[in-house]
Every structure is written in C-alpha cells, then in structure tokens.
Copies of this chain bind each other. A is one copy, B any other.
Amino acid sequence: MRRIGVIGAGLCDDRIYELAYTVGQMVAERGAILYCGGLGGVMEASAKGACSKGGLTVGIIPGVKASEANDYIKIPIVTGMGHARNVILVRSCEALIAISGSHGTLSEIALALKMWKPVIGLHTWKDIPEVHYVETAKDAVEKAFSLLP
C-alpha cells in the first residue's frame, strides 16, 4: 500500500482542521496508509478523515506513551525521541502533504526535501523552492499521488 504523510500544526483553526480532514478522507479513499505525527490539530484531523473512510492511520509520536496518540491513530509508533520522530515520519512516507504549521512543520518540509521526497504545500510555509503549492485538499491529494515514485 502507498504511504502518504500529512504534516502540520498541532493546534489549528476550524478551516485548517476541515482541510486536513478532507485530505485524510481522500488519502484513505485512494487506498493509501496515512502517516502523521499522531498528536492534535492537523494530525488529528487528517487521521480522523482517513478513519471516516475506513483507512489505516499511523501516528509516529514524540513521547513515551501510546496514550499520547489522538483517538484516530490505529497504529501508534512510540518513539520517545521528541522532534527526532519528525525524521522517522518523513522517511517512512513516499510523499508528504504539509498543511499550515509552524517550525516543526518547516523542519519536516526541509527534511523531506533533503531526502528527495515530494512535498505538497497547502496554506503552509511559502516560497520554499521545490515545494509543490496547491490551493485545495483535492489538488493536494491528486498532486501527491501523481508524484509517487
């Protein structure tokens, strides 16, 4: 199965939550596994969307307890490694969709580009060369799948 990562802020407003939820739904509808950081905000929304379509969700969490994962994570990976889990998340995916987000997300975008993974940007850090910027959830998911290796 294909592996799509969704990265973004752990706290977000309703509009971004909705966007991430829709991305999660579409990733699951296309039969891919959704990987994320397992916490709240964009991570929770995308996992919730994927679950609503019966998809598999993997949450690679920074802390030491599986219970830290949000309620929509079917497969928790408990790293106990803090931000170093970002590296594992990025490495495990074939393409990543960045939605909103702050410095943690920027680190994931940079790591993904460093590893030559396709990165789709949706209302996130601007003007990073090599990021594929789109405006809608649908375009993000289509672009991600079109760029799979």
When distances are taken between beta carbons in the complex, the residues of chain B under 8 Å from A114 are 83, 102-104, 107
Q: What residue in chain B is nearest A65 (Cβ atoms)?
A: B91
Copy tally for this chain in the complex stands at: 4
Instruction: Judge whether B77 and A77 touch: CB under 8 Å.
Output: yes
- For the residues of A in contact with B, the DSSP-based class is mixed
When distances are taken between beta carbons in the complex, the residues of chain B under 8 Å from A91 are 64, 78-80, 82
Q: Give the shortest distance, in Å, between A78 (CB) and chain B (any CB).
A: 4
Instruction: Judge whether A110 and B115 touch: CB under 8 Å.
Output: no
**Interface set of A (CB-CB < 8 Å, partner B):** 1, 3, 33, 56, 58, 60, 64, 66, 74-84, 86-88, 91-92, 94, 102-104, 106-107, 110-111, 113-115, 127-128
